[in-house]
Amino acid sequence: MMKKLILAAGVLAALASCGNRPSSAPTETPEAKAARMEWFSRAKLGIFIHWGIYSRGDWSESWSFHNGVVSMEDYFAQEADFTAANYDPAAWVQLIRESGAKYTVITSKHHDGFALWDTKAGDVSAVKSSAAARDVLTPFVQEVRRQGGLKLGLYYSLIDWPREDYPNVFRAGPARYDIDKEPERWQHFLSFNSAQLRELSEAYNPDLYWFDGDWEFSSEQWDAPGIVRMLREYNPQVVINSRIAGNGDYDTPELGVPVVRPQSPWWETCMTINDSWGFRKKDTDYKSPDTVLRMLVDCMSLGGNLLLDIGPRADGTIPQEQIDMLRELGRWTSKHAEAVYPSRAGIPAGHVQAYTTLNQAGDILYLYFPYAPNESIEIKGLKSRIKKVRVVGTDEQLPWKLYNDIDWSAAPGVCYISVPSRVLDPRMTVLAVEMESPVTLYEGAGQVISFNE
């Protein structure tokens, strides 16, 4: 059934009364922002969770009714199947921690307006309108805080297509109204958003807000700067993604690792574990652990994070394929922890046929091999002197040899590292090349000897 969700204007105004206050805080310095973003830059892996009434598994989250695949009435009929009957938030959090992730982001509310917490600002929620009849967000947050080791992120959609005070509904068809002609109606919706965000901040104090849906209106129309100011009144250290009309802290390319590093010093790629964000009964096209590991180290080599999505079922169970994936990620990240979390972007392509990162000091070059080397590994253009080469996750040191290190040439010699098959990881082998000084590179076209005076 169609949801008509307009609260009394006075109630929303009271809940959002401070939403547009100018901030008295001083402008953040680059150094202060770098310090605030430090945990995010070191996290490398996060786990995204899409869970809602769409988790029955027949249709996609929100987009299915927006695109006319299913009627809105049939879409919301799924509330009767959102039972959370086998939901175990402690097991969820334990699994996420086992994966090696350092943060998690859960959908507090998608574009359909269905809230996982006991929102007082609206009537569509797990508590008020689903078979679960209870708050399912709070137990998850409590487990994240109790178990430790994870930063908490909350996904929040600025869009709420079913609400009568939200202008746009379906991809095809006219909008309900023009916000320029009915500004009070639009402000009523903005007050609703502000009220819900205040509830989330007051109840959960998240470390990160993951916004979505900003494409439908401008920064000014959303009052995006005002939203950011409001959130930072609750938590000055909160990290906010870019999908709030350019007012966030980091970039969020979706469903594909960038070919070149994004301009922002901080970024993450959000990626599905199969082809869907939420659970879909017919979607068995799961990525292999090897594929996901390549995506992870590809992001790391460019200085970013991977936010890998899982989709629990409506009863709260997680498909076994997703459990297996996270556990295998955990095996690999645990073994290679030194080459994951403190790492930063690696060296340019062309120096070695591998993914690369550097440690924070810059004097260890990590090499990630998703293949078994046939003979030896070649590194060229490395001007820094090598102290030793070892296999990460073991005590094994490897032999290496430098050829053609000629004193008259600007181009350094070429290093070859022998890698026996017995040291290879089943998924991806990592080598640590330790240097006498921070890595410096030669990136020229080579040099010929000349006797011309």
**Please, are residues 111 and 62 in contact by the beta-carbon 8 Å criterion?**
yes
Minimal CA–CA distance to 168: which of 180, 159, 181, 155? 159
Q: What share of the chain has pLDDT > 90, as a percent?
A: 81
Q: Is the pLDDT of residue 233 over 70?
A: yes
Give the per-residue pLDDT at 14: 36
Residue 69 has phi, psi (to 5 degrees) of -70, -35
Compute the distance between CA of residue 193 and CA of residue 228 in angstroms, rounded to an integer. Answer: 12
Q: What is the DSSP letter of 18?
A: T
Instruction: Give the pLDDT confidence of 283-322 residue by residue, as tens digits.
Output: 999 999 999 999 999 999 999 999 999 999 999 999 999 9
3-class SS shares of the chain: helix, strand, coil, % to 5: 30, 20, 50
Scanning 150-288, the segments in alpha helix (DSSP H) are 183-204, 219-222, 224-234
| Domains, the chain | 28-335 (3.20.20.80), 344-435 (2.60.40.1180)
Instruction: Give the pLDDT confidence of 14-59 residue by residue, as tens digits.
Output: 334 433 333 334 588 999 999 999 999 999 999 999 999 999 999 9
Scanning 224-267, the segments in alpha helix (DSSP H) are 224-234
Compute the distance between CA of residue 418 and CA of residue 429 in angstroms, rounded to an integer. Answer: 13
Its pTM stands at: 0.91
